[in-house]
Structures are given as structure tokens and as C-alpha cells.
Structure 1
Amino acid sequence: MIVRSRAPLRLGLAGGGTDVSPFCDIHGGFVMNVTIDKYAYATLDPAPSGLVEFHALDADVSQACAPGEVDLGSGPLQLMKGVYSTIVNDYLDGRPAPAIRIRAASDAPPGSGLGSSSTMVVALVAAFAEYFGLALGEYEIAQLAYRIERNELGLAGGKQDQYAAAFGGFNFMEFYDGDRVVVNPLRVKDWIWSELEASLVLYFTGVSRASAKIIDEQSRNVRDGRSDSIDAMQRLKVEAVQMKEALLRGDFVRLASVMQSGWQAKKQSATSITNPMIDELEALAFANGARATKVSGAGGGGFMMFICDPADRVGLVRALRGAGGTVYDTHFTHQGASAWKIG
């Protein structure tokens, strides 16, 4: 039997960072995001070697070991090992650890700002659930993926990526104390969906960043009670609500305004969110038709997104390509994580 899965990456439209503890535990967090047609993929099948095999296909890194000797460690195999160990220990009811081959890859590199690491964990959890017949819905898959990353592996980060990957589509998300999460799927009209796709330019700077350092700074600022950082996060919450309203109404002038003000607020929540490269790209984009910009994810690099009048898109794309990065064609998706059997 072969099981395959995929889960979509996401763009954070507003509120990113308010899903990170301790802010969301104290104040509650709101995030507006959407999934795109870039994915994390996983394949599970019995290992011919009789060992557990881990293959990070995009990093070209592999390792095989006895089923009872999986070392979580660090590196490109860590996420696969974390999911395998948690499923074996918590979900197989004492059955022997299975000898399976786990292969995974992503359409985006780590540090891209599209939630690639968390999306990979969701894809892996969905594949394991299908392989072992585990009855896990979207909330359960997202919650388990979050627990594996944050608790089992000790990786810093927020909560939105796992839920975006599990649910798919446009979602307004609420985050509260005790890991309570409410996902509100939005019914976005077809013309608004198409207009936003035509208005959006997704640009990879070519520089990945370590989001953990930025997230650690944001969390430390909240714990230390820094009013400037906390006030900025509160503005991000308000702007997530405003983004939802602008999107549902098709008010693209307001949408661009909210995205830009959200980016300004986010830059005040931690010093490393922007840098001279990002500032130069922002200035270049505005000189060539952009109405709003923000860095996707924690900041510091990775992907940037720009909103423009669709009639100005060609000129904006030409200017950004001249800066040395890569422009990606992007479409939104309805579907979240999925898994299926072959044979």
C-alpha cells in the first residue's frame, strides 16, 4: 500500500504574529489568511529494507534506522522523525513501531514565510492518519501538528500555519488561551477571488530567514511588557478584522490600506522584521505601481507580497525581476490537506 498526501501553503493577509504565545494567551489573536497552489507533499509505503527510512527529497538527505531507534535531533529530517515518533507512541495502541519509508518535499524552501515547515507537518500527519486509519478531522490534524512542532520538537512559532494547511481557503482565525482555536471559513465571492488574484504579486527575495529569532524577540517583548510592541500587536488584531471586512465587501482600496498599515505595525513588533534589502524592495515596488506590501510570515526575508492595480501588474513584475528575485504565479485554493491510498 502507498499513501500520498499534500497540504497547501498559505499567505498571511493580516494579523500574523498575534497567533504566537504568550500574546494570544493573554490578549487573544486574530489572523486572516488564504492558502495558495503551492504544497508540501508526503508519501508513505512499507520500507523494503525493514528499517524506518526518512527521505527529505528537496534537501536530498536520507537516513535509515531501526524502528525503535529514531533520534529526533535537528536538521531536514527532524519533522518527519517527530511525526513518526508521536504517531507510534500515541496512536498505535502498543503495536510495534512499523518499518515504513517516508518521503517528503515542498514547493517552497524553509524560511520562505509561507508556513512551509508547519505545512509539511500537516501533510505528514494527514498521510499517517490515512496509512493507519486514524479518525482525525481538520482541527485534530492541525492541533496534533502544532503539538509535534512546538512541544515534541521545541520549535518556536505560532498556530496559524497548521490550521491554514488543514482547512484550506480563506479563513479568519481566532486564537485564545489554552490552545483554543476557532477557524471561520469565509465565503468570498468569485469576482473578489479573481480580482485579488489579479492584484497580487508574490515575490521571493532569494533570502530565507530564521523565523525563530524573530518570533523569540516578539514573545520576549510581550513577556517584558513592552508597550510599543504590545500596542503594535493590538493594531494587527484590529487590522485582521478590517481585512476580513474589506475582503468580503470587495473593497480593494480599503484592503490595500489595511495591508500597508498592518505591515507598518508589524515592523514595530520586533526590530528584525525588516532590513535594508526589504526597505529597498518596498520603495522599488511603490515606484512601479504597488499600493501595498508586506513580508509573508515572520519577516526578515523569504517571500514578499504586493497589491497593485491589475493594469499595473506587468510593470511591477518587470521591476521586481530586475531586482534579482523571482516572481511566482499564484492562485488561491479551496481545499486543505488531503491524503489518498494507491494500490
Structure 2
Amino acid sequence: MAMIVTRTPFRVSFLGGGSDIEEWFSRHGGAVLSTAVDKYCYVTVRDLPPYFDYSIRVSYSRVETVGRLANVRHPLVREALRLYRKRDVEVHYDADLPGRSGLGTSSAFAVGLLSALENGAGRFVSKRALADKAIHLERRVLKERGGWQDQIAVAFGGLNHVRFSASGYTVEPVCLDAAFKKTLIECLHLVYIPTRRISGKVSFSNRTPTRRFVPQLRFLQDSVEEGIRLLKDQDIQGFGALMHECWLRKRTISRVSNAAVDAVYRAGLRGGALGGKLLGAGAGGYMLFVCRPTDAAAFKRRIHPLNLVPIRFDDEGTSVIYYSTGKGA
């Protein structure tokens, strides 16, 4: 039986979130600064042997065994299999971190699944094509609310400046001095706040941008260029302060925070963080802080160590890590 396994990174978004929503960037343009990190989801797709009383098996946080595609409850899996007219198949999802927590996990699943289906059919597909297909699946077919940055970040990998316009998007890698890039990752601290949510239900993207939000969204969008300049100048303090200002502004236009999130953010600042933000749509999940290297020890003492998640940059993006045709030698 043929089997393929893909590995797709999760992502951390620094600046510009919200301007990647099509309702916004089709009129105003958009920009984000984000990176893929070394926490992954793994998607296995294999042909199902003809010995079972079901034709489709899907394993994620639950296990589904069904005889008809229409009976698959996971919408992303169901519609992906429909697009590829795939039957007699098993799909298995594993991940390093919990889903629905602000790291682009659902889009990583989409990109990894589409990569497995494309490569399993014997077709080479570019990372851009995978991002485009995932955007189409999530935003057009499933009609899930949200932006475009997640699919792009996890497909391409790396630290990127992504620009959006009515005609599409461009991806420009942000090149930093190797020594500073190592310092930068040591300054980033990912903290888990154990409250999961479905992003489309709480995010700014759940409503059309109104006139009163335009100045704040423009500031968030324009902050990307400033953030890149600060990184190239190796100005960690300025970068942290910019993230802090953007977080304060985003809280005014979106229901991204709550008492638990605010308490963690205040604790981080008291521990020496220069700034930070809640990742993704908000209301729980992962919060990113930026600290000076000299303040890392004090920060870790202030934040419970079990909630800290070590990260490194991922420069590869989605990849196939195992492929077997199922045919003998």
C-alpha cells in the first residue's frame, strides 16, 4: 500500500496581523512579518487495504471510520479528499503542540494534507502552489474566516516579509546576520496560556473592517517595515517596544484579550520583557514575548517554566519526509 508522510512547521507572527485579511488588503494593501518555527504537524496519507468494513479512516483528536466521504465529520479532510476524488484512504494527523492555539496549526494541517495528496498522486507541487491551494480550501471551499498569512508562512518556511494586494501576494525572505539571528531566537519566549479557541469565532476577521478601525490597522500594517528595519539594525529593544505598541493598538480593535491573557502579559513585562503579543486570533493559546538576552533568566523565573516552549527558526517549510509506493523491489 502506498504511504506518504509530510512535516509542516507552525508559525509565529510578529507584526502586521489583521492586514492579511482579504476584505482589508484588497482595498488597502497589507503586510506581515512572520517566521516558521521548529514545532510541526505530521500528516500521513496511505491507501487503505480492502479488508475493512469502512473505506475512509481519519485520525486526529478523534478517530472516524466511515463508508462514505459525505460522512467524514472533519470538514478540512472531507473537502480535501473530495477535491482529489480520493477514496479507500487513511489520514492521520499528529502534532508537537495543541491545535487552535494561535500558531497556524489548522493551516499547517491543510498544507501538509494537500502536499501528501499531491505528492501521493505523483505530482511535484511548489510551496507557493501549496499555499494557494490551502488558501482556496480554507477560505473559498470551507468559507472559514481568517487571513492568508498562515498558509504562506507554513508552506514557505523561513523569516519572511509578505506583502498583500488586490492582485495577490509576494514573499520576500528577511536576511539577517547569522550571529544576530541566533541572538534573536534567544530573545523570543513562547508562553502557553491553556485556553483554546476557534479563530474564526473571536478574531477581527469575523467582521468587516469599519472606518473607525482604519487608522489602527494602517499602523499595524506600516509597523512591518519599521520592524524589519529594527531587526536589520540589530535593535532588539526597539523591536520589542514596537511589538508592545502594536499589541496595545490591536487590543482596541479586536477581542483578542481577556483577564487571563492580560495577567500573563503583565507578568511578562514585570519579568523584563520589552513587549509581546498574543498569537493568532486571541483569547488564549500562545503569547510571544521579546526580552533582552540579559533579562532571560528573570523572565523565566516570573513565568511558570512549564508554560515556556523553546523554539528555533525553521527555514525549510513543508516537506515530504517519507514516501513509499507500496510496490516491492
Q: Report what 2:286 is aligned to.
A: 303
Contact conserved, 1:296 with 1:303, CA < 8 A, in 2? yes
1:72, distance to aligned residue in structure 2 (A) = 5.8
1:71, distance to aligned residue in structure 2 (A) = 4.0
* 1:177/1:54 CA distance change after superposition, 3 Å: farther
Q: Report what 1:288 is aligned to.
A: 271
Alignment of structure 1 residues 244-323 onto 2, 5 Å = 244-270=228-254, 272-321=255-304
**TM-score, scaled to structure 1:** 0.88
Q: Give the letter for the 1:297 counterpart.
A: G
Contact conserved, 1:203 with 1:326, CA < 8 A, in 2? yes
* 1:49/1:320 CA distance change after superposition, 3 Å: farther
2-side partners of 1:129 and 1:221: how far apart?
A: 34
Contact conserved, 1:54 with 1:81, CA < 8 A, in 2? no
2-side partners of 1:214 and 1:230: how far apart?
A: 19
Q: Report what 1:92 is aligned to.
A: none
Alignment of structure 1 residues 188-199 onto 2, 5 Å = 188-199=176-187
Q: Report what 1:93 is aligned to.
A: none
1:87 to 84, 89, 92: 84
Q: Give the letter for the 1:328 counterpart.
A: V
Q: Give the letter for the 1:35 counterpart.
A: A
Q: Report what 1:103 is aligned to.
A: 92
1-side partners of 2:72 and 2:45: how far apart?
A: 19
Instruction: Name the SS of the counterpart of 1:264 in structure 2.
Output: helix
Q: Give the letter for the 1:62 counterpart.
A: E
Q: How many residues align?
A: 321
Alignment of structure 1 residues 209-224 onto 2, 5 Å = 209-215=197-203, 217-218=204-205, 220-222=207-209
Q: Report what 1:37 is aligned to.
A: 38
Matched, 1:65 2:67: yes
Q: Give the letter for the 1:33 counterpart.
A: S
2:136 to 147, 157, 181: 147
2-side partners of 1:189 and 1:70: how far apart?
A: 51
1:161, distance to aligned residue in structure 2 (A) = 0.4
Q: Give the letter for the 1:38 counterpart.
A: K
1:219, distance to aligned residue in structure 2 (A) = 5.1
1:241 to 201, 214, 225: 225
Q: Render the CA deviation track for 1:119-144: whole Å, top value 9, x for unaligned.
A: 11001111111100223211110010
**TM-score, scaled to structure 2:** 0.92
Contact conserved, 1:204 with 1:302, CA < 8 A, in 2? yes
Alignment of structure 1 residues 103-252 onto 2, 5 Å = 103-178=92-167, 180-215=168-203, 217-218=204-205, 220-222=207-209, 225-227=210-212, 229-252=213-236
Instruction: Name the SS of the counterpart of 1:181 in structure 2.
Output: strand
Q: Give the letter for the 1:239 counterpart.
A: S
1:279, distance to aligned residue in structure 2 (A) = 1.2
Q: Report what 1:330 is aligned to.
A: 311
Contact conserved, 2:271 with 2:298, CA < 8 A, in 1? yes
2-side partners of 1:204 and 1:241: how far apart?
A: 28
1:332, distance to aligned residue in structure 2 (A) = 0.8
1:266, distance to aligned residue in structure 2 (A) = 1.3
1-side partners of 2:121 and 2:276: how far apart?
A: 43
* 1:251/1:206 CA distance change after superposition, 3 Å: same
1:275, distance to aligned residue in structure 2 (A) = 1.2
Q: Give the letter for the 1:290 counterpart.
A: A
1:262, distance to aligned residue in structure 2 (A) = 1.3
Q: Give the letter for the 1:70 counterpart.
A: A
Q: Give the letter for the 1:2 counterpart.
A: M
* 1:87/1:189 CA distance change after superposition, 3 Å: farther
Q: Render the CA deviation track for 1:14-35: whole Å, top value 9, x for unaligned.
A: 0011101211111011000001
Q: Report what 2:19 is aligned to.
A: 18
Greater mean deviation of Cα atoms: 149-158 or 113-122: 149-158
- Alignment gaps of 5+ in structure 1: 89-96
